[in-house]
Chain A
Amino acid sequence: MMLSKGLKRKREEEEEEALAVDTWWLDPGHPAVAQAAPAVASSSLFDLSVLKLHHSLRQSEPDLRHLVLVVNTLRRIQESMTPPTTLPPVPNPPAAPSVADNLLASSDVALSASVASLLEDLSHIEGLNQVPQPLADEGPPGRPVGGAPASLGALDLLGPATGCLLDDGLEGLFEDIDTSMYDSELWVPPSEGLKPGPENGPGKEETPELDEAELDYLMDVLVGTQALERPPGPGR
C-alpha cells in the first residue's frame, strides 16, 4: 500500500532525502549513518508518520495494531526532535514562537483530539455491541469506559499545566504540545501518573527553521486534519 498515493508532496526533494538517508535514524554509532542533518530527515519521518496516522484513522474500522504502532513510533520521533534537558543551552536566544510553530502545535493538538476521540468512540460503540455475558467485561474496575469525551481531556492539555486535568494518566497518546514544543520533556510514560509540572525553560532553541515550502505543507496537513476532526468540543 503506497501511503502517498494521491497525496502530493510539496517537496519532491524531501522524499528523495528520506530514501537516501534511510539509515540515519539508527544509533549514531552505526557505521551506516549518513551525514545529512538529522533535523531535516526527522521532520520527513514525522510527516510520514502523521500521514500514516491520518490514513489509519480514515479507515472505517482502524487496524488497532497498526494504529498503536504508528502512534508509538510518532512519540519516539517527537521525543527525538527536542533536545534533552542535559544539553547546555545553545548560545543564540530562543526564537519567539513563530506562526509556523503555532500551526505545528495546533495541528498536533487537533490530531491528538481526533485520535483520542476516535479511540474513545471505539469504546462507546463497544458498549452498544457487547454480547450479554455472565461477568461484566468492562475491564479493570475504575473509570467507566464511556466517560467524559476524550476530546475534552486532550484539549485541556492546551493550557499551561494548571493541574486541573480531567483524568490522571492523561499523557495518553499525545503529549501536551502547544507551548510544550519548547519543553525539554515531551513525553512521560503513563505509569508516572500526573503530567509533569510547569514547562521547563526555553529548551527549544533548536527549533527547525521552517521555510515557506514547509509552511505550505504544514498548512495542507492542517487543512487535512480539520477536515477529519470530530465536531468541535468545548473550548475549541
Chain B
Amino acid sequence: MGEDTDTRKINHSFLRDHSYVTEADIISTVEFNHTGELLATGDKGGRVVIFQREPESKNAPHIQGEYDVYSTFQSHEPEFDYLKSLEIEEKINKIKWLPQQNAAHSLLSTNDKTIKLWKITERDKRPEGYNLKDEEGKLKDLSTVTSLQVPVLKPMDLMVEVSPRRIFANGHTYHINSISVNSDCETYMSADDLRINLWHLAITDRSFTDIVDIKPANMEDLTEVITASEFHPHHCNLFVYSSSKGSLRLCDMRAAALCDKHSKLFEEPEDPSNRSFFSEIISSVSDVKFSHSGRYMLTRDYLTVKVWDLNMEARPIETYQVHDYLRSKLCSLYESDCIFDKFECSWNGSDSVIMTGAYNNFFRMFDRNTKRDVTLEASRESSKPRAVLKPRRVCVGGKRRRDDISVDSLDFTKKILHTAWHPAENIIAIAATNNLYIFQDKVNSDMH
C-alpha cells in the first residue's frame, strides 16, 4: 500500500529520552468520531487527548488534513474503593463518541468502574465593551462612565472547553471492558466481565436493568466471562457480546428485558487438528465490531480475525491468520502472559479491508476482495514523516529474504493493541505503546 506517513507523538514533558516510557503515557484506546474530523486517545494515566484534522488548505497542500492536538483533559483520576479496600485504576479503557447533534461534541470515556460523558465546546468570541467592568473585569469607577454602550462579541483565540456533563458511577461490580452508543442516540450500554448495563444518557443515578447477566448462582461454576460488546449500527434493539470461550451472542432487546436467552449464538466448532491446552485461551474473543453496513461482524482472537455473517451462526464466513507462526510458541507466550493480550480490530469505511495489530509494532491489513494481506510496521526507526510504509515479512524458517524478521527476534513488548480507521477515508490511527501514529493514504488504496 503506498502511503504517506504522518507521525504524531504525544508530547509528554516527563519523557527524558525517547526510550524511556512513562507508564501513564501508554495509550489505552483510540477512536475516531463519526466524521473522522476528531480523533480521541485515552491513556493509562486517565488523560484524554483529542486531535483535530486541519482543513485542507491551498497554501500548504502538503499539509493536507493533518491531525493536530485539539484538546487535552484529565478524564479519570485514581480512586480508592474503601469498601473493598483497593485502588481503582484511572486507565481509560474505552472512548466512544456520540453522534454530533449541535455545535458541541460529546464523548463517553470509561475506566474500570465509572463512565463519564464529556462535552467539548469551542469558544472563539468573547463579549467586550461592558459598561460597568473594564477589560480585566474590575469594576469601573462610576464617575468615569458617561455613556452607555452595548457589549459586542469580538473574535478571540480559539479556546476549547471540556466539561463533564454526566458521571455514571456504581453500575459495575466487575471491570468494564466496553461501552457502545445506541443508534437511537439516547441510550448506551456498558459491559463488564459478567454483566451488561443499559443506560440512558440523561439519567445517571441508575442504569436500566442489566440486559445481560451471566454470573452463575455459584461463583465456583464460573467458566466464562464477557469480553466485548457492541450495539448494531442501525437496529437499536440489537447488540452482540463476545465471550472468553470464543462465542458471540446476538441479542434482541425486544425479546426480553434480561437478554440471557440469546437470540443467536455464533460459535465455530473447535478444529481437532489444532487442539491444545491453550485452545480455549486463544479462542477467547478480544474485540467484536459490526461492519458499517451492519451485515457482518468482525472478531479478533489471539491468532486470527474472523468475519461473521449475521445470518450464519455455524461458522465465520472468512478467517484470516494474523500471526499463525505463533501457534508453535504458545507455551512461552502463556508463560509470559502474552497469550492473554487483547488485540482490537477495525473495518475500513467500505467494509472491504480489515485491520488489526500484532507484535513487534506490526499491524496487519486484509483485503476481503482480493484476499491479499500486508504487514506494516509502526515505529520511528522505520518510518520518517512522508515516507512510504514498506511491507514487512516474518519468516518462519526456510528461505529468508533480506529484510525479513525471524519469529525469534520479534519483540513481544511492542504490541499494537489499539487501532482505529477513519469512518470514510484511508486514514488509520495506530497506538504503539506511548506513541500515536497516523497514516494517510495519499495515493489510491491499491495494496501490494
A residues adjacent to B (C-beta < 8 A): 1-4, 18-19, 22-23, 25-27, 29-30, 32, 45, 48, 52, 60-61, 63-66, 68-69, 71-73, 76-77, 80, 116, 119-120, 122-123, 125-126, 128-135, 137, 139-140, 142-143, 145, 147, 150, 153-154, 167, 169-170, 172-173, 190
Contact = CB atoms under 8 A, between A and B. Distances in A.
Interface in B210-234: 210, 213, 215-225, 227
Contacts of A120: 219-220
B246 to A, nearest CB: 11
Interface string B299-326: 0000000000000000000000000000
B219 A119 contact: yes
Contact of B207 (A76, A133, A142, A173): A133
Given A27-B274, A27-B275, A139-B213, 9 more contacts: A22-B328, A63-B175, A73-B281, A116-B220, A119-B220, A129-B81, A137-B209, A137-B210, A169-B221
A143 B218 contact: yes
A137 B267 CA distance: 28
Contacts of B171: 131
B330 interface: yes
B252 interface: no
Contact of A61 (B84, B244, B281): B84
- Main SS of the interface on chain B? loop
Contacts of A125: 83-84, 173
Q: Which of B223, B224, B244 has the most CB of A within 10 A?
A: B223
Contacts of B218: 143, 147, 150, 167, 169, 172
Contacts of B340: 65-66, 69
A61 B207 CA distance: 24
B280 interface: yes
B322 to A, nearest CB: 19
B244 A129 contact: no
A68 B276 contact: no
Contacts of A190: 221, 223
B74 interface: no
Contacts of A72: 223, 280
A130 B209 CA distance: 13
Given A18-B331, A30-B273, A190-B223, A69 B217 contact: no
B55 to A, nearest CB: 43
A52 B209 CA distance: 35
Interface residues of B, number: 54
Q: Which of A1, A61, A172, A190 has the most CB of B within 10 A?
A: A61
Q: Which of A69, A71, A80 has the most CB of B within 10 A?
A: A69
Nearest to B245: A72
B209 A77 contact: no
Interface string B252-293: 000001001000000000001111111011001000000000
Contacts of A116: 219-220
B207 to A, nearest CB: 7
A233 to B, nearest CB: 14
Contacts of A133: 206-207, 209
Q: Which of B207, B272, B275, B335 has the most CB of A within 10 A?
A: B335
Contact of B174 (A22, A64, A150, A169): A64
B334 interface: yes
Interface string B153-184: 00000000000000000110111000000000
B15 to A, nearest CB: 23
Contact of B84 (A66, A77, A129, A137): A129
Contact of A45 (B213, B275, B277): B277
B78 to A, nearest CB: 13
Q: Which of A32, A65, A116 has the most CB of B within 10 A?
A: A65
A27 B175 contact: no
A131 B86 CA distance: 18
A69 B284 contact: yes
B406 interface: no
Contacts of A153: 220
Given A48-B335, A172-B218, A64 B275 contact: no
A80 B277 CA distance: 9
Contacts of B281: 69, 73
B370 interface: no
